[in-house]
């Protein structure tokens, strides 16, 4: 090989090898820093495109999951409210049965009437406050709740179950005497049947939402795992490669130093020749 001070082929080769090693080291460092082997389309266009599509699917399914969570909470509040109404109706029936006894004195009858009215007022309060996210499924005139259940627009319809005292036909019930109390017992008994049926309907809807919610959560996990399989870096492998590349870079710097020293060797040759003369 020709030795020249104008063109140092050895230095150029060493520099090319060092640049390549530095590039590989930069890529490996980025992978370790981000934890991804595919950080952009320049790394692997096809894989990056697939991963982006999956990320979009994850965002969409996550939005559905959020909607299901809100819907489930709305139904749960309605169930809690309906349960409270059922409990209050049970107490009201007990008062009505007591009031239906003949021969009660006026004071006792009036006391039962006051308790009965207070319990009915409590039902009004419970129904009015069974609200979540501005939606009440048990108030008078309540509309059905449509809960988005999939990215294709499918919905779970939760039927509203009005439980106000007027709908239950107990708003005029009274215990002023044994006869009216007997009528109230019949009305309250029917109201209990109505509320129990409504609770069953709400419970079934809540179960459907819960099942869909669980499935949606698992689907998100599967999609995230799929993205990870495509773009996540093997950190153990990358760490080992990083150490190897760092050593290779140091050797490249040493090789470049040696190559750059070749012209100096020629200069030393001339200096030695002049000294002998």
Query: In which band, very low, low, confident or very high, does the pLDDT at 17 lie, cut at 50, 70 and 90?
Result: confident
Beta-carbon contacts of 232 under 8 Å, excluding residues fewer than 6 positions away, are 35, 36, 37
Structure tokens given for 149? 């259940």
Domain chopping of the chain, boundaries: 9-35+233-276, 70-231
C-beta separation of 18 from 252 below 8 A: yes
Query: In which band, very low, low, confident or very high, does the pLDDT at 255 lie, cut at 50, 70 and 90?
Result: confident
Q: Which fold has domain 70-231?
A: f41 fragment of flagellin, N-terminal domain (1.20.1330)
Q: Return the pLDDT at 10.
A: 74
**What pLDDT digit, counting tens, does each position of 159-197 carry?**
999 999 999 999 999 999 999 999 999 999 999 999 999
Total residue length of the chain: 277
Alpha helices in the chain (DSSP H): 9-34, 45-99, 106-129, 178-231, 235-260, 262-276
**Separation of alpha carbons 25 and 157, rounded Å:** 56
C-alpha distances in Å from residue 277, one per residue of 11, 34, 174, 270, 271:
32, 64, 136, 11, 10
DSSP 216-249: HHHHHHHHHHHHHHHHB--HHHHHHHHHHHHHHH
C-beta separation of 165 from 171 below 8 A: yes
Q: Which of 51-60, 121-130, 259-268 has the lowest mean pLDDT?
A: 259-268
**What pLDDT digit, counting tens, does each position of 241-254 carry?**
888 888 888 877 88
Place of tokens 């019949």: 186
pTM of the model: 0.76
Q: What percent of the chain has pLDDT over 90?
A: 61
**What pLDDT digit, counting tens, does each position of 24-64 carry?**
788 888 888 888 888 888 888 999 999 999 999 999 999 99
**273, pLDDT greater than 70:** no
**Separation of alpha carbons 89 and 111, rounded Å:** 17
C-alpha distances in Å from residue 187, one per residue of 2, 165, 192:
113, 11, 9
**What pLDDT digit, counting tens, does each position of 62-118 carry?**
999 999 999 999 999 999 999 999 999 999 999 999 998 888 888 999 999 999 999
Q: What percent of the chain has pLDDT over 70?
A: 91
- Of 205 and 276, more confident: 205
Q: Return the pLDDT at 271.
A: 61
């Amino acid at each position: 090989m020709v030795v020249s001070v104008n063109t140092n082929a050895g230095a150029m080769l060493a520099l090319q090898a060092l640049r390549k090693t530095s590039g590989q080291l930069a890529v490996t460092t980025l992978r370790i820093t981000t934890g991804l082997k595919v950080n952009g389309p320049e790394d692997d266009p096809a894989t990056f495109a697939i991963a982006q599509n999956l990320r979009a699917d994850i965002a969409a399914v996550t939005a559905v999951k959020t909607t299901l969570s809100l819907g489930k909470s709305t139904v749960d509040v309605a169930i809690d409210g309906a349960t409270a109404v059922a409990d209050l109706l049970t107490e009201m029936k007990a008062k009505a049965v007591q009031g239906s006894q003949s021969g009660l004195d006026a004071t006792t009858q009036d006391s039962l009437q006051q308790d009965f009215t207070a319990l009915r007022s409590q039902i009004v309060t419970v129904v009015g406050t069974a609200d979540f996210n501005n939606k009440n499924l048990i108030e008078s005139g309540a509309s059905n709740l449509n809960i988005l259940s999939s990215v294709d627009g499918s919905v779970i319809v939760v039927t509203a179950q009005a439980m106000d005292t007027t709908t239950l036909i107990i708003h005029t019930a009274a215990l002023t005497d044994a006869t009216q109390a007997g009528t109230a017992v019949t009305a309250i008994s029917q109201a209990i049947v109505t509320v129990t049926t409504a609770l069953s309907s709400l419970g079934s809807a809540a179960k459907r939402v819960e099942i869909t919610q669980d499935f949606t959560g698992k689907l998100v996990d599967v999609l995230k795992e799929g993205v990870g399989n495509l773009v996540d870096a093997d950190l153990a492998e990358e760490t080992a490669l990083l150490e190897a590349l760092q050593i290779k870079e140091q050797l490249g710097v040493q090789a470049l130093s040696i190559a750059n020293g070749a012209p100096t060797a020629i200069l030393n040759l001339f200096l030695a020749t002049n000294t002998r003369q």
